Amino acid sequence: MKPLLEIENLTVAIDDEPLLSGVNLTVAPGEIHIVFGPNGTGKSSLIKAIMGLPPYRVTSGDVRFEGESILGLPIDERARLGVGLAFQQPPAVRDVSLSALSKALGIEKGKLDDEAAGLGMGGHINGGLNDGFSGGEQKRSELLQLLLQRPKLLLIDEPESGVDVDSLKLLTAVIDASSSGTSRSGNEPSAGSSSPTPGASSNTCTPRAATSWLMGGSYARGRRSISSIRSQQTGSETALPRRE
């Protein structure tokens, strides 16, 4: 299978301070890859360098997406190719709602409703974006915005950080479904519960293009929490050594 993402001998720095050196990684369509390591090993730096965010600077090596180098492309062009990034701490935008954002993107309301239901966000699509959201709601909001755009590769920095158990279960289910080429939709769990509302029909999965995932997580809670996502045989785990 042709690789979706290829990272070859990548070295990343901020100003003259090296952050990563000689990183190699290949991600195929539909694969889930998790990068583990202690704080300061460069997990976030790797993800942000792939997306082209400043001040991260690639000093050597290459990042190829669908066989073509993307190092010379600005952030918006990388996004248009199908690379999406979920921020660890997304900003709140009080005057923009998820429904308004999806409308601006040309996304049908039915599609928004289905994706929002699968992430337990149906009651938040008309309020301010991330405004007053809990940590788990922020993560689900970020994921919802990206899934609506159908990225081919989704980069997510510490998906377990600041997330409650119920939100983590929802995130895990959606990640597994999207990487296998289905979309999880249906009834949301009631507040404080990971089970569907009694008497309601169960969640369903509809076909969609498979999404590849590259995630960074810390060793402690992250290893225990994200381990349930690694149900796919195509997934892999990479450990970054502590930077001296």
- If we measure between CA atoms, which residue out of 75, 72, 2, 12 comes closest to residue 42? 12
Cite the DSSP H helix spans in the chain. 43-51, 75-81, 98-104, 109-118, 135-148, 165-179, 220-226
- pLDDT band for 158, please (50, 70, 90 cuts): confident
Band the pLDDT of 176: cuts 50, 70, 90: confident
Q: Is residue 244 part of a domain?
A: no
pLDDT at 106 over 80: yes
Q: Output the CA torsion sign for 64, 208, 170, 96.
A: positive
* Long-range contacts (CB closer than 8 Å, 24 or more residues apart) made by 200-203: 203/118
Q: Which domain holds residue 144?
A: 5-192+199-239
* pLDDT tier for residue 10 given thresholds of 50, 70 and 90: very high
pLDDT score at 178:
77
- Identify the residue with better confidence: 141 or 41: 141
pLDDT given at position 166? 77
* 89-114 mean pLDDT: 91
DSSP string, 55-67: T-EEEEEEEEETT
List 156's β-bridge partners, or say none: 86, 215
Say if 206 falls within a structural domain: yes
- 231 within some domain: yes
Q: Is residue 136 part of a domain?
A: yes
Would you state the pLDDT for residue 203?
37
In a domain, 184, yes or no: yes
User: Distance between CA atoms of 65 and 96, rounded to whole angstroms?
Assistant: 31
User: Into how many domains does the chain fold?
Assistant: 1
Q: Is residue 203 part of a domain?
A: yes
Res. 124 pLDDT band, cuts 50 70 90? very high
Confidence at residue 193, expressed as pLDDT on a 0 to 100 scale: 35
Query: Does residue 18 have a cis bond before it (omega within 30 degrees)?
Result: no
Where is average pLDDT lowest: 185-189, 193-197, 216-220? Answer: 193-197
Answer with the residue of higher pLDDT: 242 or 149.
149
Whether 85 is in a domain gets the answer yes
Determine the Cα–Cα distance for residues 191 and 57; give it in Å rounded to an integer: 43
Lowest mean per-residue pLDDT among 104-108, 167-171, 232-236: 232-236
- Domain assignment of residue 151, yes or no: yes
Average pLDDT rounded to a whole number, residues 116-131: 91
pTM for the predicted model, two decimal places:
0.77
Mean pLDDT estimate for the chain: 78
DSSP summary character for residue 189: B
pLDDT, one tens digit per residue, over 56-73 is 999 999 999 999 999 999
Domain harbouring 80, CATH code: 3.40.50.300
Closest CA to 124 of 115, 24, 40: 115
Spatial distance between the Cα atoms of 197 and 185, rounded to a whole number of angstroms: 14
